[in-house]
């Protein structure tokens, strides 16, 4: 367990040049801080999108701007997203000791992950699942710009039950030092109007912490979202819808859009 997981989508999903990438992320955060909805208290968890930055970056900025004031507080990121490229029956951990981006290496808390793999049968190491997975990687430059030193616990969710995601989150919930991030886009490849209708429904389920009505039609990361909703409802967290747009609002054509949402989960 000494390998660094290299950046797989730098230069495609986001800029490979560190200076350009840092400027892009800062612009998304600054615009969100000026015009976005603000969460009423410090978020414990976020949902943020994971498409190419030209499409979903503005909405991701809305999510991450809500934790700008927590730069020195957050020391641990629990990051879950869907496995897009390689199927796994359960949830995949990585053996890497760090995840790389053009902004540097993010250390992975392997000590904790080893214990989790021993504890949960649904959790297993699979570097193949992580190798080209973008849903986790695209979140890292935002976190690197926002936070001081932090450790990462990255998981790619495949054919898992939402109760298994909930169990993993319960184990890792932690205190004020821990931020949970769920990476997910919303509806995929619908007309602008159809996407908006589906995404409105999805956002209302998320806002009300209703986990059992979401499917892959609503969000590619519906399983990690559902696990978070179960964990958040149990703890009586309050969800704030920070932003909801589609690629038709940002950089794509209106006839085949992907939906994006930014959500913060706070103590009520």
Query: For residue 123, what are the domain limits?
Result: 43-267
Does the residue 197 lie in any domain? Answer: yes
Does the residue 108 lie in any domain? Answer: yes
Does the residue 26 lie in any domain? Answer: no
Q: Which is nearest to 135 in space by CA: 26, 45, 219, 75?
A: 219
Q: Are 46 and 65 in contact (CB under 8 A)?
A: no
Query: How much is the pTM?
Result: 0.96
Q: Which is nearest to 225 in space by CA: 165, 154, 139, 150?
A: 165
Check which CATH number belongs to the domain holding 238 and give it: 3.40.830.10
Does the residue 32 lie in any domain? Answer: no
The domain tally of the chain equals 1
pLDDT in tens, 5-59: 999 999 999 999 999 999 999 999 999 865 556 666 789 999 999 999 999 999 9
> Residue-wise pLDDT tens for the chain (268 aa)?
569 999 999 999 999 999 999 999 999 999 986 555 666 678 999 999 999 999 999 999 999 999 999 999 999 999 999 999 999 999 999 999 999 999 999 999 999 999 999 999 999 999 999 999 999 999 999 999 999 999 999 999 999 999 999 999 999 999 999 999 999 999 999 999 999 999 999 999 999 999 999 999 999 999 999 999 999 999 999 999 999 999 999 998 888 999 999 999 998 7
Angle at 85 between CA 27 and CA 206, to 5 degrees: 60
Does the residue 29 lie in any domain? Answer: no
Element (H, E) at 127: helix 127-131
Does the residue 30 lie in any domain? Answer: no
Burial of 240 (0-12, 13-18, 19+ CB in 10 A): middle
Q: What distance in Å separates the CA atoms of residue 51 and residue 28, rounded to the nearest whole number? A: 14
Task: Establish how many alpha carbons lie within 13 A of residue 152's alpha carbon, considering only the half-sphere containing its beta carbon.
Answer: 29
| Placement of tokens 């414990």 in the chain | 44
| Placement of tokens 């590619």 in the chain | 220
Confidence at residue 75, expressed as pLDDT on a 0 to 100 scale: 98
Q: What distance in Å separates the CA atoms of residue 152 and residue 220, rounded to the nearest whole number? A: 22
pLDDT in tens, 246-256: 999 999 888 89
């Amino acid at each position: 367990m000494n390998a660094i997981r290299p950046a797989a989508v730098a230069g495609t999903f986001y800029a490979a040049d560190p200076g350009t990438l840092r400027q892009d992320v800062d612009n998304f955060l600054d615009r969100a801080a000026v015009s976005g909805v603000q969460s009423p208290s410090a978020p414990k968890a976020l949902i943020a999108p994971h498409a190419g930055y030209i499409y979903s970056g503005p909405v991701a900025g809305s999510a991450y701007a809500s934790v700008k004031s927590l730069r020195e507080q957050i020391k641990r990121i629990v990051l879950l997203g869907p496995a897009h490229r390689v199927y796994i029956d359960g949830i995949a951990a990585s053996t890497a000791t760090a995840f790389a981006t053009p902004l540097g290496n993010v250390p992975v808390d392997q000590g904790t992950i080893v214990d989790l793999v021993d504890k949960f049968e649904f959790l297993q190491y699979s570097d193949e699942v992580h190798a080209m997975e973008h849903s986790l990687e695209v979140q890292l430059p935002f976190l690197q710009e926002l936070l001081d030193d932090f450790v990462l616990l990255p998981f790619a969710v495949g054919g898992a039950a939402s109760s298994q995601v909930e169990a993993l989150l319960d184990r890792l919930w932690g205190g004020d030092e821990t931020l949970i991030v769920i990476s997910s886009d919303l509806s995929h490849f619908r007309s602008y109007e159809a996407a908006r209708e589906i995404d409105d429904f999805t956002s209302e389920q998320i806002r009300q912490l209703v986990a059992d009505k979401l499917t892959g039609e609503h969000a590619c990361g519906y399983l990690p979202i559902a696990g978070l909703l179960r964990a958040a409802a149990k703890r009586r967290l309050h969800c704030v819808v920070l932003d909801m747009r589609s690629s038709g609002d940002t950089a794509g054509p209106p006839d085949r859009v992907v939906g994006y949402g930014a959500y913060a989960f706070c103590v009520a």
